Amino acid sequence: MALNPRESGKLIATLATHVKINREGIKKLGDILVEEISTGKLSPDNFSQVDVHPNPEDPWAIDWLFVVDTLNFCFWHHENEEGWKVDGHTGYFALCAAINRALSEEVKILDPDFYSTITEDRLLKILRSDTKVKVPLLSERVQCLHEVGLTLMEKFDGSFKNVVIKAENSAENLLNLIVENFSCFKDEAEYKGNMVSIYKRAQILVGDIWACFRGKDLGHFNDIEKITMFADYRVPQTLLWYDILEYDEDLLKMLKENTIFKNGKEMEVEIRGCSIHAVELLQEYASSKLEDKKINSILIDHFLWDFRRKHAKEVMEKGLPFHKVFSIYY
């Protein structure tokens, strides 16, 4: 059995040889996060302020989140290449826009009876790009939709809402239900003789439900603090920017040579695991400074991911490349 993401992050950070966490960086960014929380700039309410996201009042919101996070992986492209784009959006937001476009065209993309048998051609049309670039890993996306759609119909009466209800307001229960029932969310690896878990997409699904519903109704979890950050290929760049993560020369050389890393291999696991532990340290530091407000790893992840998106050019100019992986897990 794999360690949970928090335990995995701590273990990986302890054993890592290619990635180091700097405590001075934790303090530097931690003070910024305290300010962001104290002024209300950093809040779960910001989720609904993005026009491609559903509102908690939308009756289909929970199934929208499930379909989007089933497909929420591998949008990157090389810096000098044109990427996949939908309605002017790139990356994750392009996926959101594509699903919203499908709904406006009355495609039953939120119905597991539809997507459990979807063809590559049909999904390609749904995810069609403004550019000539097709969405990466199309066949893997089809496989993911087939798997989760069949499982929903066989075990949960055709709606992810029933999975959420079964979790009984526990984020940890919901996380376990997701990874135990939907194998395409089971993001695990063997690292130096230990089975570890990252669970990026499974955790972001729980986090998105919490943020979309603003911690109420279906988004009310008694233990939301048990969810860690969502270890992808963008957030580590922000942690590098703030001198929280430090890579050794071998890893930096591979990054700058645009090496394609293998999911589950040592360097890749260290980047993701150390990112998790670094955010846990940030959360501990910021929480110790906050008196009447709370901060969790989900909100910190939102800050880190948004920072990288807003400052993409400066991050690249500073020579902080992201690790490139073809994977369904992030």
What does the pLDDT look like over 293-327, one tens digit per residue? Answer: 889 999 999 999 999 989 988 998 888 889 999 99
Distance, CA of 233 to CA of 237 (rounded, Å): 8
The verdict on residue 312 lying in a domain is: yes
Whether residue 52 is contained in a domain is answered as yes
pLDDT at 279: 98
Non-local (6+) Cβ contacts of 115 within 8 A are 67, 108, 109, 145, 146, 149
| Closest-CA residue to 260 (of 322, 328, 198, 320) | 322
62 domain residue, yes or no: yes
Residue 69 located in a structural domain = yes
The answer to whether residue 306 is domain-embedded is yes
Please check whether residue 271 lies inside any domain of the structure.
yes
- Residue 50 has a pLDDT of 73
> What is each CA distance from 83 to 16, 131, 134, 185, 272, in whole angstroms?
33, 7, 8, 25, 24
d(C-alpha 13, C-alpha 20), whole Å: 7
Structurally, how many domains does the chain consist of?
Answer: 1
Element at 245 (helix H, strand E): strand 245-247
| DSSP three-state, residue 256 | helix
- The rounded distance, in Å, linking the Cα atoms of 197 and 1 is 10
pTM here?
0.92
Report the C-alpha gap between 53 and 96 in whole angstroms.
7
Rounded to whole angstroms, the Cα distance separating 100 from 52 reads 7
Per-residue confidence (pLDDT) for residue 40, from 0 to 100: 86
- Would you state the pLDDT for residue 47? 59
The tens place of each residue's pLDDT in the chain, 330 residues long, gives: 899 999 999 999 999 999 999 999 999 999 999 999 999 888 877 655 578 999 999 999 999 999 999 999 999 887 777 889 999 999 999 999 999 999 999 999 999 999 999 999 999 999 999 999 999 999 999 999 999 999 999 999 999 999 999 999 999 999 999 999 999 999 999 999 999 999 999 999 999 999 999 999 999 999 999 999 999 999 999 999 999 999 999 999 999 999 999 999 999 999 999 999 999 999 999 999 998 888 999 999 999 999 998 998 899 888 888 999 999 999
Angle between helices 266-289 and 249-256 (to 10 degrees): 110
Q: For residue 71, which of 208, 265, 236 has the smallest C-alpha distance?
A: 208
Relative orientation angle of helices 266-289 and 297-310, to the nearest 10 degrees: 110
The 10 Å Cβ neighbour count of residue 237 is 23
Among residues 231, 236, 261, the alpha carbon closest in space to that of 329 is found at 231
Q: What is the pLDDT of residue 48?
A: 53
Can you give the pLDDT at residue 305?
92
Domain that holds residue 310: 5-325
Q: Find the helix or strand (DSSP H, E) in which 122 lies.
A: helix 120-126
Domain for residue 330, yes or no?
no
Residues identified as active-site: 232
